Amino acid sequence: MKKFALIVAGGSGSRMGSATPKQFIEIEGRPLLMHTFDAFSKADPAFKFILVLPEKETDTWHSLCTKYAFSTKHLVVTGGETRFHSVKNGLAKINDEGIVFIHDGVRPLVSAQTIENCYKTALDKGNALPVIAPSESIREVFNGQNRAVDRSRYFLVQTPQTFRVSLIKKAYEQEYASAFTDDASVLEKAGTKINLVEGNRENIKITWPADIKMAGTLFQKR
Ligand SMILES: Nc1ccn([C@@H]2O[C@H](COP(=O)(O)OP(=O)(O)OP(=O)(O)O)[C@@H](O)[C@H]2O)c(=O)n1
Ligand SMILES: C[C@](O)(CO)[C@H](O)COP(=O)(O)O
């Protein structure tokens, strides 16, 4: 079965507020996006990579690939206005059946075990969504009020969100909706049940400046 890793890095990193696009910030001596590729290559050297980038960052990326002698073969695709549009652009480049792992470029600490968990379930059931249980209490805020909720009913959602190619391509034919915060929400809207699998706690999404420090520490402790 062919395995595709669709790495989405087409965002602007507004919450990071850094001059360097967050996907290119160095962690342990290399741009964090290269660590993300490595996580997949280590899990299976046969992955076929599609990388989504903002158009204005493609030259910088190619310069970085030269500078860091990054030789992992990949196809670069231009991103869109939202993550949905970026994923859709990437999926359009996949024309074979197989399993596609749609992964945030800014989650460099995904484990081989999470990738394997996703693969097994997506192969068996068509889709797999890695999640972890929250370790803090949760409050719902509405109409200026707030209340405690039963956290055992909630999970935090990670990537790679993993799918049979034909299934997710069909789901992405839907009109964009602002409720589509991830790929599972797109497939669910198309009427498909989502299968949860165990993610890994280190698989943080680099979003805020503090996340860079945390990721650096986690890489050092490996
Ligand atoms: N138009 C977009 C928006 C997001 N992403 C990607 O989706 C992942 C998750 O998005 P997020 O962390 O929110 O990235 P940004 O949109 O870059 O950050 P922010 O929301 O802080 O601007 C990232 O790898 C990001 O590059 C993308 O490919 N195309
Ligand atoms: C896809 C995602 O990482 C799953 O947790 C998340 O929904 C991305 O959210 P963002 O607001 O685009 O960072």
pLDDT in tens, 61-100: 999 999 999 999 999 999 999 999 999 999 999 999 999 9
Does 205 contact ligand 2 (Cβ within 6 A)? Answer: yes
Instruction: Give the DSSP H/E element, type plus range, for residue 163.
Output: strand 161-164
The pLDDT, as a whole number, for residue 82 is: 98
Domain extents for the chain? 3-220
Mean pLDDT for the stretch of residues 21-40: 97
The closest ligand to the CA of 55 turns out to be 1
CATH of the structural domain 3-220, one choice from 3.90.850.10, 3.40.50.11810, 3.30.70.260, 3.90.550.10: 3.90.550.10
User: Is the confidence at residue 101, as pLDDT, over 90?
Assistant: yes
User: Is the confidence at residue 174, as pLDDT, over 90?
Assistant: yes
Does 88 contact ligand 1 (Cβ within 6 A)? Answer: no
Instruction: Give the DSSP H/E element, type plus range, for residue 217.
Output: helix 209-220
User: Is the confidence at residue 222, as pLDDT, over 90?
Assistant: no
Does 211 contact ligand 2 (Cβ within 6 A)? Answer: no
Own/partner long-range contacts of 215-222 (Cβ < 8 Å, ≥24 apart): 215/27, 215/32, 215/108, 215/109, 216/27, 216/28, 218/109, 219/27, 219/28, 219/35, 219/108, 219/109, 220/28
The pLDDT, as a whole number, for residue 26 is: 97
DSSP 146: E
Predicted complex ipTM: 0.98
